[in-house]
Amino acid sequence: MKKIILILIISLLPVSLYSQRDNLELGIRYLKLGNSHRVAKNYSEALEYLESGLGIVQKANNKYWEAVGYELFAYYYCDRDDKFEALFFLDKANELYKKTVSSPRDGSHNVLDEIIEEITNNGCPSYSNGDDYPYFIKVFNYDNSRLNQLPSIPLAATNISLAFNRFTNIPGQLNQYNSLEHLNIPDNRIRDLTGIGNLKGLHYLNLSKNRIAEIPDDIEKLSNLVELDLSNNRIKKVNTGITKLKNLKILNLKGNKIPFEELKRIIQALPNTNIIHDSYKQK
């Protein structure tokens, strides 16, 4: 009897996981619908969908989308000219964002703080245009989500974190994200960097703890790159493309198998870059 029960439990596990994922997608859809109704000034429908969506993502225990829900409620209450409720929900959103979103190097984390200060001092601005949202549609965290394909993310995203997943290459869909500045994708299974040169807006790129052995020449197209983390990969040779990244301030090559002479060449080619590398014993 115990064996039968155990088999039933195991067989139901995938269904349960799919159900949780479906519920989360439903919650996200409701939040977006609620926001669309808010923009259209259909406030009763907006409130209904926002409440339902927030409840669903809370049950799914997804803290990022819970933060999104709180932020959307804040804009709802701003539209209703209720400054105190708006601040209450913005504080809750801000607290959760700081726990769930990898801290970007470009200062984006301060945006919600600035909105809170603005509302505190001057009251609620208008957030009737969905493109005006300063935070939730721009920063997305899908760390530790067992992904091997890019999920549905708004094209306005500036910051995407995909750490601890199952990607084997750079998702080709990222080419569509013209505003993307910060890509965090360590601890995956990436071997192939084909198309990396298309992400020309990147300022920060973390590819550490993957399976990268070769860096393509078109990485030189990432002329805006300020920080590049390639640590703990399988790199033995660094091509000349990297030496053309003249805006690069930090280059992390630690934990690879790069010969000293090769490293010396890179250091000479990038005199203004802080290059983090393994220590070498002098012969």
**Stretch among 141-155, 211-225, 253-267 having the lowest mean pLDDT:** 141-155
Tokens 């690069």 identify what position?
248
User: pLDDT, tens digit, for every residue of 215-257?
Assistant: 999 999 999 999 999 999 999 988 889 999 999 999 999 999 9
Residue 7 has a pLDDT of 39
Residues of the chain with CATH 1.25.40: 15-128
And the tokens for 216? Answer: 């393509």
Separation of alpha carbons 120 and 165, rounded Å: 39
Q: Where in the chain is the domain with CATH 3.80.10.10?
A: 138-283
CATH number, span 15-128: 1.25.40
Percent of the chain predicted with pLDDT > 70: 83
Residue by residue, DSSP assigns 154-182 as -TT-SEEE--SS--SB--GGGGG-TT--E
- Give the tokens for residue 15: 């269904």
Across-strand partners of 206? 184, 229
The residue ranking higher by pLDDT, 58 or 135, is 58
| pTM for this predicted structure | 0.61
Local confidence band at 49 (pLDDT 50, 70, 90 cut-offs)? very high
Q: Which residues contact 132 (CB under 8 A, 6 or more apart)?
A: none
Q: What is the spatial distance between Cα 62 and Cα 77, in angstroms, rounded to a whole number? A: 23
Tell me what pLDDT residue 145 has. Answer: 82
**pLDDT confidence bin for 123, thresholds 50/70/90:** confident
Predicted local distance difference test score (pLDDT) of residue 181: 93
Residue 270's CB is within 10 A of a number of other CB atoms, namely: 18
- 157-214 tens-digit pLDDT: 888 989 999 999 999 999 999 989 999 999 999 999 999 999 999 999 999 999 999 9
The share of the chain scoring above pLDDT 90, in percent, equals 48
Q: Are 236 and 259 in contact (CB under 8 A)?
A: yes
The architecture in CATH of the region 138-283 reads Alpha-Beta Horseshoe (3.80)
Least confident residue range of 155-159, 260-264, 275-279? 155-159
Tell me the average pLDDT across 121-127: 74
The counts of H helices and E strands in the chain are 7, 7
pLDDT digits (tens, 9 = 90+) for 77-92: 988 989 999 999 999 9
> In whole angstroms, what is the distance from residue 238 CA to residue 275 CA?
13
The model's confidence at residue 24, banded by pLDDT at 50, 70 and 90, is confident
pLDDT single digits (tens) 70-79: 999 998 998 8
Q: pLDDT at position 220, please?
A: 95
Query: Residue 95: which residues within 8 A CB-CB, separation 6 or more?
Result: none
Q: Which of 11-25, 126-140, 229-243 has the highest mean pLDDT?
A: 229-243
User: Which candidate, 268, 260, 148, 249, places its Cα nearest to that of 205?
Assistant: 249
Non-local (6+) Cβ contacts of 222 within 8 A are 196, 197, 199, 200, 202, 205, 228, 245
CA angle, residues 60, 70, 19, in degrees to nearest 5: 15
The pLDDT of residue 121 is above 70: yes
Between CA 143 and CA 65 the distance in angstroms is: 13
Q: How many CA atoms lie within 13 A of 142 on its CB side?
A: 20
Determine phi and psi for 232, rounding to 5 degrees.
55, 50
Binned at pLDDT 50, 70 and 90, residue 12 comes out as: very low
Instruction: Report CA 8 to chain centroid distance, whole Å.
Output: 37
Asked whether the CA dihedral 57, 58, 64, 68 is positive or negative, the reply is positive
Q: What is the mean pLDDT of residues 255-267?
A: 92
Residue 83 phi/psi, 5-degree rounding, is -60, -40
Give 6 or 99, the one with higher predicted confidence: 99
* Average per-residue pLDDT for the chain: 83
